[in-house]
Chains A and B, each alone.
Chain A
Amino acid sequence: MIPDEWRPSEETTDRLFGLASKGVLLTIAIWALFPIYWMVFNSFRTRFEIVGGDPSFTETSLHYQNYIDMWSRVDLLGYFVNSLVIASTTTVIALFIACLGGYAFSRYRFPGRQYVGASLIGTQLIPGILILLPMFMLFRTIHDTVGIQLIHTYQGIIFVYTTFSVPFAIWMLRGFFDTIPPSLEEAARVDGCTRFQALFRVVLPLAAPGIAATGMFVFLVAFNEVLFASVMARGDVTPLSIGIQQFMERDQNHWGEMMAASTVATLPILLIFVAFQKPIVKGLTEGGVKQ
């Protein structure tokens, strides 16, 4: 038994606990941020410095040649533009459709609601590899019969990505719409708004953080997708997710240029995130996936 007078006071244990937990958090933060630092750091190193493997963290020479060479080694600009076009269009369309669906799913207890809910979750467990080939065949059939080209085109891959992200976006947005009291729209409708206007003028502005968080989600899904892009978006519409691997596939690994390309690819997403960080973090924190 420890004598009572040896026991630390409650205040002391509280302070120690607080200190220890901040230490843990600091460790996690270093772990979380190091790879991003490492990416930027290595984008300014020569191949010999990288292959040498001995990092002196105080290297002073900024080797910016990677940032020049990377554009000519692969068609980086083309891939990058493709990715931005695909991901941002997907985000806009998916958010619009998901806002309508999420609102209906949140506000109305219509017959069949639980089936809609189950099918939204159900889409999350379909392995992409199962539907990849049928979709390729379906798109070819559509091309042969109706004449709309969906393989290796923007519209095709945007259509696929939009549909991939809509179910989860509906599920997320429904959670945000649940937190907005219906009495607000009712008031707007009494004032002469149509139901549609009430949705766009009252509900959506209030759900802005949730929409921002959902939008970030959709954008990332579209920006990172590899499987469908590798089969259905080649040629002129090849996105960065496929194109960036070319730094590895050629005669040797161009790590420096790849890290420079990675840094450049991360920048716009980081800028979007920084610009919208308050609503995004607020939206994520309030959580749309509570149930």
Chain B
Amino acid sequence: MVRASLRLRERVTSGDLGRYLPLYSRLDEKYRYAYKLLFPALAMMFVVHFVPVVWGVTISFMGVDANYIGDWTSAPFVGLEHYAFVMDPATTIGSRYWYSISRTALWSFGVLVGTYVLGLTAALILNQGFRGSFVVRTLLLLPWIAPAIVTLNVWRMMFLSDSGIINHALMSVGIIDEPVFWLLGDQALWSMTIAHVWIQFPWVMIMLYAGLQSIPQQLYEAASIDGAGRWGKFRYVTLPQLKPVSGVVILLMLLWTMINFTTPYVMFGGSPPSSVEVTMVYIYNFSFRAFAFGRGAAMSVGLFVVSMVIATIYYRRFIRSDLEADTQ
């Protein structure tokens, strides 16, 4: 065993590896160097991303439950049974699954709109470049810099119905007459959206600001000469020029929110009100309380497929053309 590995090492170092990996030897030396540099990252991604994803998909076709958790390979193969079961809206589990997906969609959409509008507004104003804009920019990053695990608890405290500052402020201004239960019922989704927008908008802001900074000034001058006003410049110069950055920001914001677990879990814990039981939380509770791992895996694959479809369509439509333009 040791001798075999020594011999292999000898072959590798003497450049003899080509006999075993013919494709590799035909590669240009500088490409080999690129692969070597990427190797640690790709190897880790293989172990932590690729293998578990394939494993997870496999489990979703098998009857893995508490009995088989020790030796999952002996669990029976059930084909698409789990998928049919968890996606059947007639059952309690299936209807809750679909409901959780609709909640996830609503939440992700709300976060996307909120962060983009706020982020773009702040970025546009910062881009006017007044004195002290660096300080403001740094301060506006704080919600994103402060650990989410602590700030989410601050938001939860602020949303408390009896002693929370938000109800107190709204009542003293006269917008509401009696305390609102922000953390219960449908309002909980609003509260969670507001808190998450607060955490994420600085990232959107700074990305869009970076995009604004790279727009050539001449375009605005040309637009001025053509008689464009403030709105015209925004509509015909800023927005189109921001398209590549916006494309990436919107896609990542959407995907990151869809598969986010931290915000609902920290704000609402193990038994959230149903309006904030997004798919990630539902699957977590379902898998680790009922020990129905096979069914849980089927639900996860469903979520994965949804995000993959969104990402693919979006990538083809908005991002690929820019990426190709970049590499030419």
| Main secondary structure on B side of the interface with A | helix
CA distance A262 to B155 in the complex (A): 12
CA distance A166 to B323 in the complex (A): 20
Contact B202 A289 (CB under 8 A): no
Residues B134-191 near A (CB distance < 8 A): 134, 136-151, 153-155, 157-158, 160, 162-165, 167-168
Contact B147 A269 (CB under 8 A): yes
Contact A135 B52 (CB under 8 A): yes
A contact residues around B274 at 8 Å (CB): none
CA distance A255 to B154 in the complex (A): 9
Query: Which residue among A22, A52, A159, A284 has the maximum number of chain B CB atoms within 10 Å of its CB?
Result: A284
B111 beta carbon closer than 8 Å to chain A: no
B contact residues around A160 at 8 Å (CB): 48
Residues B252-304 near A (CB distance < 8 A): 252, 255-256, 258-259, 261-262, 265-266, 269, 279-280, 283-284, 287-288, 293, 296-297, 300-301, 303-304
**A288 closest partner in B (C-beta):** B210
A contact residues around B59 at 8 Å (CB): 133-134
B-side interface residues, number (CB < 8 Å): 107
Contact B198 A52 (CB under 8 A): no
Q: Digit string of A263-275 for contact with B (CB within 8 Å is 1, else 0)?
A: 0011001100100
Residues A32-88 near B (CB distance < 8 A): 32-33, 35-36, 38-39, 42, 50-55
Contact B297 A133 (CB under 8 A): yes
Contact B304 A126 (CB under 8 A): yes
Binds A, one of B8-16, B38-46, B77-85, B88-96: B38-46
CA distance A240 to B164 in the complex (A): 24
Known: A35-B198, A52-B163. A287 touches B210 (CB 8 A): yes
CA distance A128 to B287 in the complex (A): 13
Known: A127-B307, A284-B206. A100 touches B168 (CB 8 A): no
Question: What residues of chain B have their CB less than 8 Å away from a CB belonging to chain A?
Answer: 27, 30-31, 33-35, 37-38, 40-42, 44-45, 47-49, 51-53, 55-56, 59, 72, 118, 121-122, 124-126, 128, 130, 134, 136-151, 153-155, 157-158, 160, 162-165, 167-168, 198, 201-202, 206-207, 209-211, 213-214, 230, 244-245, 248-249, 252, 255-256, 258-259, 261-262, 265-266, 269, 279-280, 283-284, 287-288, 293, 296-297, 300-301, 303-304, 307-308, 311, 315, 319, 322-323, 326-327
Closest 6 CB pairs of A and B: A287-B210, A53-B163, A134-B55, A262-B150, A131-B52, A130-B300
Beyond known contacts A123-B49, A227-B265: 8 more, CB 8 A cutoff = A29-B139, A38-B154, A124-B256, A125-B258, A127-B280, A129-B300, A130-B304, A262-B150
Question: What residues of chain A have their CB less than 8 Å away from a CB belonging to chain B?
Answer: 17-18, 21-22, 24-25, 28-29, 31-33, 35-36, 38-39, 42, 50-55, 97-98, 100-101, 103-105, 107-111, 116-117, 119, 121, 123-131, 133-135, 137-138, 159-160, 162-164, 166-167, 170, 195, 216, 220, 223-227, 231, 240-241, 244-245, 248, 255, 258-259, 261-262, 265-266, 269-270, 273, 277, 281, 284-287, 289-291
